[in-house]
């Protein structure tokens, strides 16, 4: 990938950024504009071969960037942009954060969500499930047109440790989010995945020590986390000749949540493209459940809406097969004056319907805050 500095003032105008793909990682942002090719689904090896062919034909630093839905049988949205470059994250911070005015409403509501959790718990007692991630969505009807780039700048400013993304979708929609969870990255032969599972709202504990004591001592959360970390390690193992899986998770913080976190690192047997690794991992139990098939069926039956790109994967790959893919959480889809935001929680034996509802409310805070709506989540409704 190209690491040269961006020439001239950045950003020129917010409107000029609304149609570009952006992916922030660490202290820099990948900015990709124009469309050379687009795909609704393609084998990773075929995509890699195409990128290499474009490089041989003279395209400078060809990449693919985009989003894969939760259901990989649904259409993907991947593009090879006409041009791309890395810019300093600080250069894209806004002068002021987004402030949206509008009506917020539930898509399903508290009674539906908590009923879904109770139904899942019944399946646990029958031995059909070990874990399922149940999500909900809220809708915002804005009084004014909102710039995706303005919201993206707010997400960058408010979530300095997150992978912040903006992916324009067909039909005038934009996928926006600030994911804390690395699905997989590849740099040459080195791979890293950082699953998160087991969470508490940030406001529940004043400091890292108190949050660590609570989460590391919580049997339910440790079990939920182990299901995810073990599954990620098992999925990566066939690709790796070395794999380091820590025995104990750590506790990390986002602006709204505390999470149990395990950083899994490995060295590949062969230079498998990062997109192939992402597809081998997706969906992890962090966004679906265990066993996979039973969890998928429970989600389809219980949630009551279509996740689309939520709980999918967002990221990029270059012509060497390197890249980064993150789990599409703490996200929403913006279309003019319409905004849909998503949040979910892992349900295992011992879960409380009310506690899971409150966890989703805390997770919605990331996106609500980005739009200046942090105190506007709707009251509990049926």
Active-site residue among 181, 303, 356, 359?
A: 181
Residue 80 neighbours by CB under 8 Å, 6+ apart: 35, 36, 37, 38, 50, 51, 54, 62, 63, 64
What tokens were used for 367? Answer: 């996106």
Instruction: For residue 221, give the H/E element and its range.
Output: helix 219-236
131 counts as catalytic: yes
What tokens were used for 290? Answer: 């265990």
Q: Where would I find the beta strands (DSSP E) of 172-304?
A: 174-179, 182-187, 190-194, 196-201, 240-244, 250-253, 257-261, 264-268, 289-290
Instruction: For residue 341, give the H/E element and its range.
Output: strand 338-348
46 counts as catalytic: no
Give the distance, in angstroms, between the CA of residue 242 and the centroid of all CA atoms in the same chain.
26
Active-site residue among 131, 173, 324, 359?
A: 131
List Cα–Cα distances, 266 to 123, 174, 232, 239, in angstroms.
Answer: 35, 34, 12, 9
What tokens were used for 39? Answer: 């795909």
Give the distance, in angstroms, between the CA of residue 357 and the centroid of all CA atoms in the same chain.
19
Contact 278, 313 (CB under 8 A): yes
User: For residues 87 and 223, what is the distance between their CA atoms, to the nearest angstrom?
Assistant: 40
Active site (catalytic) residues = 131, 181
């Amino acid at each position: 990938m190209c690491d040269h500095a961006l020439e001239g003032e950045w950003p020129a105008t917010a409107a000029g950024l609304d149609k570009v793909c952006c992916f922030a990682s660490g202290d820099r942002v990948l900015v990709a504009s124009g469309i050379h090719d687009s795909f609704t689904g393609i084998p990773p090896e075929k995509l890699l071969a195409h990128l290499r062919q474009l490089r041989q034909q003279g395209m400078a630093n060809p990449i693919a960037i985009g989003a894969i839905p939760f259901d990989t049988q649904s259409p993907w949205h991947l593009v090879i942009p006409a041009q791309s470059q890395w810019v300093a994250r600080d250069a894209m911070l806004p002068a002021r954060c987004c402030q949206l005015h509008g009506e917020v409403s539930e898509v399903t509501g508290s009674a539906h969500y908590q009923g879904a959790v109770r139904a899942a718990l019944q399946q646990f007692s029958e031995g059909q499930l070990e874990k399922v991630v149940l999500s909900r969505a809220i809708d915002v009807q804005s009084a004014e047109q909102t710039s995706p780039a303005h919201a993206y700048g707010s997400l960058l400013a408010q979530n300095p440790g997150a992978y912040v993304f903006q992916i324009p979708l067909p039909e005038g929609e934009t996928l926006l989010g600030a994911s804390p969870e690395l699905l997989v990255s590849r740099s040459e032969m080195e791979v890293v995945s950082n699953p998160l599972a087991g969470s508490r709202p940030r406001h529940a504990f004043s400091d890292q020590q108190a949050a660590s004591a609570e989460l590391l001592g919580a049997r339910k959360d440790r079990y939920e986390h182990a299901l995810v970390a073990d599954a990620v390690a098992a999925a990566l193992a066939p690709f790796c000749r070395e794999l380091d899986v820590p025995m104990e998770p750590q506790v990390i913080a986002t602006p709204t949540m505390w999470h149990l976190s395990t950083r899994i690192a490995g060295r590949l047997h062969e230079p498998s493209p990062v997109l192939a690794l992402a597809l081998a991992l997706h969906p992890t139990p962090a966004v679906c459940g265990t066993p996979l098939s039973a969890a998928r069926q429970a989600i389809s039956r219980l949630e009551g809406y279509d996740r689309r790109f939520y709980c999918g994967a967002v990221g990029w790959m270059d012509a060497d097969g390197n890249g980064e893919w993150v789990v599409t959480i703490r996200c929403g889809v913006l279309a003019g004056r319409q905004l849909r935001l998503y949040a979910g929680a892992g349900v295992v034996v011992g879960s409380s319907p009310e506690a899971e509802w409150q966890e989703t409310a805390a997770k919605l805070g990331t996106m609500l805050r980005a739009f200046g709506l942090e105190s506007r989540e709707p009251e509990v409704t049926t």
